[in-house]
Amino acid sequence: MKKQYSNKIISVIFGLLFTTSSQASVFEVRDENYYNQIQTWLKSEAPTKMRLSKPNISEGKLLTDAIEDFETENADLKLASSPRVLELINGVNAKQFELADQVRLAALLAKKGTLDPERAQNLNENLAQFLRTQSDERLAIELLKNENALKSSIEADIFQSVAETHPEFARLFSKGKAVEFQQLSRQDIQDLFMQRPLINHYRNGRYNNSPRLFMFCRHERQYPCLMAMRDASDNTVYDGKGMWTHPALGYVASGAPYYVRSGYTPSGIHEINGVMPVADQNISFGKFRRMILNFVASSTNEENNKLLIPTSHFDKIWWQEAVVARKAGRNLLRIHGTGRQISSSHAPYQPFVATHGCISQREIKFQGVDYKDQRLLLDALMEASGLQPMYENEANIRGLLYVVEIDNKKGPVTKADLDALGLR
């Protein structure tokens, strides 16, 4: 049965390989399919067993991601957890997983009061041995994030060690610590939008002749953001009403911060790398294909990020949220619509629907308006790329996304706000 399951997954991956090479990395497809299969089984009430071949390190992280996100979503919806969570955690051999993911699974068990002493003891020993000679940023983040859940199971000196080695992460998880906000000046924002950075030096010029999409947000993310764009020739994009703008939301219903899974979309720079092969899971993602976002590749002293911003922004903190989120292991970020209905008529972001970390597009009939914002955004990006706005060309969308918080005012970002910043 395991072999049959494994062969099925392999056939799906390779069946998609030739249809996705230009629109989405086969690895993105593989990872999302694996993640979605775990999520689907957790949500299902059908009397089936989840049969997994021995997960490798990458699959172990995705499996843990799926479980953690499932638990977070249930908590947000005030639903009881499923017994399948324990069945899956206890049924998989996690010894070959990265220590960060072993910590996450142990924390999930501890929160349920089912972390057995032997598992805790083995984790203690492995952590102590690893930390004597090595350091790992994602492991440090997971330990600090889960300290309350694991403090009765993990030795105190382990938490103290990672806090001393990574004080920048320890500050994030300090009790009552608010997410830091740094006000950018009018000139800062103009520099970012209007100056062309050294994009041709990043990833062998992969994004050199591609649009740059800017998403200007409030610090309080429950208020909708507003996008503007520079095209492939680095000209501001205009429409019949002046500078092209487009609303978006980067908020999660739980209000979780950017440095945890299911936190709000982190400020910073993201690669836009095409679309997923099909517009499936219409309730979650809407009826148009979702765009793939990836973090800027890791590099010494974050030189890659610095290639994509003006020198005047090197010492700014806004773009470092995405860096921390990358180090924390966040993944599978997308821009997508939704088939869900508005959960609260009093939410300051209606008619948007909050996500679990992705950028949300309006896709709902609300107050007599039939919104199809994902369709409009896909078309605008194709036109800014010099492509005809047609389904086949969605595969070739490529660009850079800059998520920037402009102030801490209350209310949606408007065209008047951008005009006041000199963006017109």
pLDDT on residue 12: 41
pLDDT at 18 over 50: no
Residue 340 vs residue 271, higher pLDDT: 271
pLDDT on residue 365: 78
Q: Calculate mean pLDDT across residues 86-114.
A: 94
pLDDT at 229 over 60: yes
Q: Per-residue confidence at 169, pLDDT binned at 50, 70, 90?
A: very high
**Spatial CB neighbours of 49, under 8 Å, sequence gap ≥ 6:** none
Q: Calculate mean pLDDT across residues 298-312.
A: 97
Q: Per-residue confidence at 296, pLDDT binned at 50, 70, 90?
A: very high
Say what percent of the chain tops pLDDT 90: 75
Distances (CA, A) of 117 to 9, 110, 114, 139, 184: 35, 10, 9, 21, 50
Per residue in 243-288, pLDDT (tens digit) is 999 999 999 988 899 999 989 999 999 999 999 999 988 888 889 9
Q: What's the length of the chain? A: 424
pLDDT at 5 over 50: no
pLDDT at 135 over 50: yes
Q: Calculate mean pLDDT across residues 202-208.
A: 96
pLDDT at 7 over 80: no
Residue 1 vs residue 344, higher pLDDT: 344
pLDDT on residue 2: 40
Weakest-pLDDT range from 174-178, 308-312, 358-362, 373-377: 174-178
Weakest-pLDDT range from 2-11, 124-133, 238-247, 371-380: 2-11
Mean pLDDT in the chain?
90
Q: Per-residue confidence at 24, pLDDT binned at 50, 70, 90?
A: low
pLDDT on residue 236: 98
Weakest-pLDDT range from 66-80, 160-174, 351-365: 66-80
Q: Per-residue confidence at 221, pLDDT binned at 50, 70, 90?
A: very high
Q: Per-residue confidence at 36, pLDDT binned at 50, 70, 90?
A: very high
Residues 38, 66 contacting (CB under 8 angstroms): yes
Residue 27 vs residue 346, higher pLDDT: 27
Q: Calculate mean pLDDT across residues 139-167.
A: 96
Q: Per-residue confidence at 21, pLDDT binned at 50, 70, 90?
A: very low
pLDDT at 14 over 50: no
What whole-number distance in Å separates Cα of residue 138 and Cα of residue 327? 6
Q: Calculate mean pLDDT across residues 195-221.
A: 97
Q: Is 225 buried (19+), middle (13-18) or exposed (0-12) by CB count in 10 A?
A: buried
pLDDT on residue 8: 42
pLDDT on residue 76: 72
pLDDT on residue 222: 95
- Three-class secondary structure assignment of the chain: CHHHHHHHHHHHHHHHHHHHCCCCCHHHHHHHHHHHHHHHHHHCCCCCCCCCCCCCHHHHHHHHHHHHHHHHHHHHCCCCCCHHHHHHHHHCCCCCCCHHHHHHHHHHHHHCCCCCHHHHHHHHHHHHHHHHHCCCHHHHHHHHHCHHHHCCCCCHHHHHHHHHHCHHHHHHCCCCCCCCCCCCCHHHHHHHHHCCCCHHHCHHHCCCCCCEEEEEEECCCCCCEEEEEECCCCCECEECCEECCEEEECCECCCCCCCCCCCCCCCEEEEEEEECCCCCCHHHHCCCCCEEEEECCCCHHHHHHHCCCCHHHCCCCCCHHHHHHHHCCCCCCEEECCCCCCCCCCCCCCCCCCECCCEECCCCEECCEECCHHHHHHHHHHHHCCCCCCHHHHHHCEEEEEEEEEECCCCCCCHHHHHHCCCC
Q: Per-residue confidence at 359, pLDDT binned at 50, 70, 90?
A: very high
CA distance from start to end of the chain: 61
Say what percent of the chain tops pLDDT 70: 93
